[in-house]
Amino acid sequence: MSSASWSSLQPFHTFGLPVRARKISQVTQLSELLALSGASLQANEPLLILGGGSNMLFTEDFAGHVIVNRLRGIRCSESEQAWHLHVAAGENWHQLVEYTLAHNLPGLENLALIPGTVGAAPVQNIGAYGVELADFCSYVEAFNWQSGEVERIAAAECRFGYRDSIFKHEYQDSHLITAVGLKLPKGWQPVLGYGPLAALGEAPSAQAIFDTVCATRMAKLPDPAVLGNAGSFFKNPVVPAALAESLKSRYPQMPCYPAGEGQAKLAAGWLIDQCGLKGFAIGRAAVHQEQALVLVNLGGASAMELIALAAHVRDSVEQTFGVVLEHEVRFMGAHGETWLDEVLS
């Protein structure tokens, strides 16, 4: 196949870079997966699953088959203690949060306005304002490319961690998430320990939490339809408590949270901001003016400009604080996932 017949990936990822794929297919029915998997395995070509493309940086054209997950549907049942949701992977995450509130099923409100699809949520174990997907996940259903069957994987087997799961490791190339099972306890308790939620008082409604989270995110985070971006670009670093204490003595205003025995979590956005990088640009790639944790495409940015910017931000933070940031956004090369250091080498 000549490069002229390749398909544009620009509409399928929120950075909006002018990259292409050898082939793109959109899947709306489970029955379509078996034929696609057979053809791809037979062709021995790279395979990539995309949902909303909201956490992806393509470093170059993808020399394989991109399958866009558009599976839809929400089923709800209940037990004595909880509500149980079975949600197809192609559903929009924020719209799911809205659905739960509209049906008086609280629990997910802290996770409002996180971009992407339901199927992407377990991969990253998405989280915000003290809540993670793992807090509510019962199981993940995934299509196994090798066996051609859908498997139900219990949450305990998903190896959920901070922005991490088994789907970023052993199951990355072998499983396509088709649905997620969620358990929302009927004895709902608000989670108010982070940021502006602490000012809501002792007993705010789930709707009040949702509204506050949405207002906060909209005030700081750019709309990908206006400025291409992939949300938080770097993970909040977890460092030894001794280093955190040393930095805290030099920077008393530095946000710092306990992160298990002998460790502390720092705010990557604060560290970047202290390096004076808000608004800093390389070509048409820039650190967002309002939220330093977000890198944006000002229009016409190239992948290499974003890569150079990410490297500059990481190096600046390391030189200033002795803390090495890891990118939360997935880097995708021509034949599969890659990382910043690999791209720079």
pLDDT of residue 252: 96
Q: pLDDT per residue over 82-110, tens digit each? A: 999 999 999 999 999 999 999 999 999 99
| One domain for residues 228 and 327 | yes
Quote the percentage of the chain above a pLDDT of 90.
79
Helix, strand, or coil here: 206?
A: helix
| One domain for residues 211 and 257 | no
d(C-alpha 140, C-alpha 160), whole Å:
12
**Residue that is last in its domain, among 217, 238, 259:** 217
Give CA separation, 280 vs 16, 287, 288, 290, 328, in Å: 20, 5, 8, 12, 20
| One domain for residues 305 and 278 | yes
The active-site residue out of 54, 165, 232, 316 is: 232
d(C-alpha 92, C-alpha 86), whole Å:
14
| One domain for residues 209 and 228 | no
Residue with the bigger pLDDT between 40 and 53: it is 53
Find the mean pLDDT for residues 279-298: 97
pLDDT of residue 10: 95
Number of CB atoms found within 10 A of residue 242's CB:
11
| One domain for residues 257 and 283 | yes
Q: Does the residue 279 lie in any domain?
A: yes
| One domain for residues 228 and 338 | yes
Residue 56 has pLDDT above 80, yes or no: yes
Find the mean pLDDT for residues 306-318: 98
pLDDT of residue 44: 75
Structural domain for 230, as ranges? 223-344
Cβ–Cβ < 8 Å for 30, 143:
yes
d(C-alpha 318, C-alpha 312), whole Å:
10
Find the mean pLDDT for residues 116-128: 94
CATH number of the CATH domain containing 55:
3.30.43.10
Q: Residue 265's pLDDT band (boundaries 50, 70, 90)?
A: very high
The active-site residue out of 22, 163, 217, 330 is: 163
| One domain for residues 96 and 211 | yes
| One domain for residues 247 and 212 | no
pLDDT of residue 41: 60
Residue 203 has pLDDT above 90, yes or no: no
Exposure string of 115-126, with b = 16+ CB inside 10 Å and e = fewer, is bbbbbbbbbbbb
Q: Does the residue 1 lie in any domain?
A: no
Residue 195 has pLDDT above 80, yes or no: no
| One domain for residues 38 and 108 | no
| One domain for residues 191 and 84 | yes
Residue 144 has pLDDT above 50, yes or no: yes
Structure tokens at 183: 């358990």
d(C-alpha 301, C-alpha 164), whole Å:
28
Give CA separation, 135 vs 148, 230, 326, in Å: 30, 24, 24
Helices then strands, counting H and E runs in the chain, come out as: 8, 21
Find the mean pLDDT for residues 64-91: 95
Q: Residue 2's pLDDT band (boundaries 50, 70, 90)?
A: very low
CATH number of the CATH domain containing 290:
3.90.78.10
pLDDT of residue 332: 96
Q: Residue 30's pLDDT band (boundaries 50, 70, 90)?
A: confident
- Catalytic annotation on 163? yes
Structure tokens at 260: 């298990």
Residue 165 exposed, middle or buried by CB count within 10 Å (0-12, 13-18, 19+): buried
Tabulate helix, strand, coil % of the chain (nearest 5): 30, 30, 40
The contacts of residue 122 (CB under 8 Å, 6+ apart) are 133, 137, 140, 158, 160, 165, 167, 177, 180
User: How many domains does the chain fold into?
Assistant: 3
